[in-house]
Structure 1
């Protein structure tokens, strides 16, 4: 499903969007997600499903026992064989390791987490998709470089259709370190949001 308003003359048409093209695309995308959520609901605990549908996100503390968690943290911190990619956005420095099959050979504890009986089904349900998502080891350093303000620190919507991101934190993130912030119920396709012809998206396009 194309999302670029600028690159596509059809979905970017002012005339067609005034007639409801974009609102219709968003409504269909949300309807499809609802069907998939219903089909995948059996594999997730009712309380987690209820929280996700009500708030748009779910927080699960202490997924791993302390011993397994410490082993995972130690393994991630000591690995040296995986390729690290760097990204700078404004004053934020991000390092990422793609968790492909080659990387997971070096990170057995991480691979075990990705198949955890709570973690994996929850990602499948929230993403409304049985396809395995991309996973990374990620380090985000807030204010680590000189530069303009990082737009990722401004509340925004990544896209107009239901999607999913997840984080398994290896460290606590206090307020002064820039924790992720979410707006409860912002996932709901209300009439005001779904009819917007402009707004904030990760790529600067309308959602």
Structure 2
């Protein structure tokens, strides 16, 4: 049980894998709601600490829409190069299935980006990195 109790303080979500998270009795007493509330407060606090990394308009847009939209981030040449790299490169990927949702994760460590200059340029672009920090949740 101590292992499962420690999982309460993490991002663990599986009601099946952790009997405490999936406990009907604990959730009827408010466990799930408290975990969600705590996660939201932690994410809000983190975004607040990182807010200086984006403009006031972007902060307002994120608060209103829940995402940042950046247009014309790449030149036509950079966009064409990025498309060519992504369409012709075989990447390692992991899939995670949660219910009907499928999330594909493609890690992009320096050794992968070394030979992909257009992808490297966008991955390390301030607008992309700073936007990820603001959107990122704990």
Asked whether the equivalents of residues 47 and 135 of structure 2 are also in contact (C-alpha less than 8 Å), the reply is yes
Give the aligned partner of residue 44 of structure 1.
54
How far does residue 28 in structure 1 lie from its aligned partner after superposition? 0.4
Asked whether the equivalents of residues 84 and 95 of structure 1 are also in contact (C-alpha less than 8 Å), the reply is no
Q: TM-score, normalised by structure 1?
A: 0.52
Unpaired runs of 5+ in structure 2? Answer: 1-9, 98-102
Give the aligned partner of residue 26 of structure 2.
16
Q: TM-score, normalised by structure 2?
A: 0.76
Asked whether the equivalents of residues 72 and 109 of structure 1 are also in contact (C-alpha less than 8 Å), the reply is yes
Give the aligned partner of residue 110 of structure 1.
119
Asked whether the equivalents of residues 33 and 128 of structure 1 are also in contact (C-alpha less than 8 Å), the reply is yes
Unpaired runs of 5+ in structure 1? Answer: 130-207
Superposed CA offset, 1:2-61 (max 9, x none): 211112121111111111010000000000111101100000111111111111122222
Q: Does 1:54 align with 2:64?
A: yes
Asked whether the equivalents of residues 75 and 107 of structure 1 are also in contact (C-alpha less than 8 Å), the reply is yes
Cα root mean square deviation, aligned? 2.5
Q: Which of 103, 118, 122 in structure 1 is aligned with 2:131?
A: 122
**CA–CA separation in structure 1 for the residues paired with 2:94 and 2:137:** 30
Q: For 1:99, what is the secondary structure of its paired residue?
A: coil
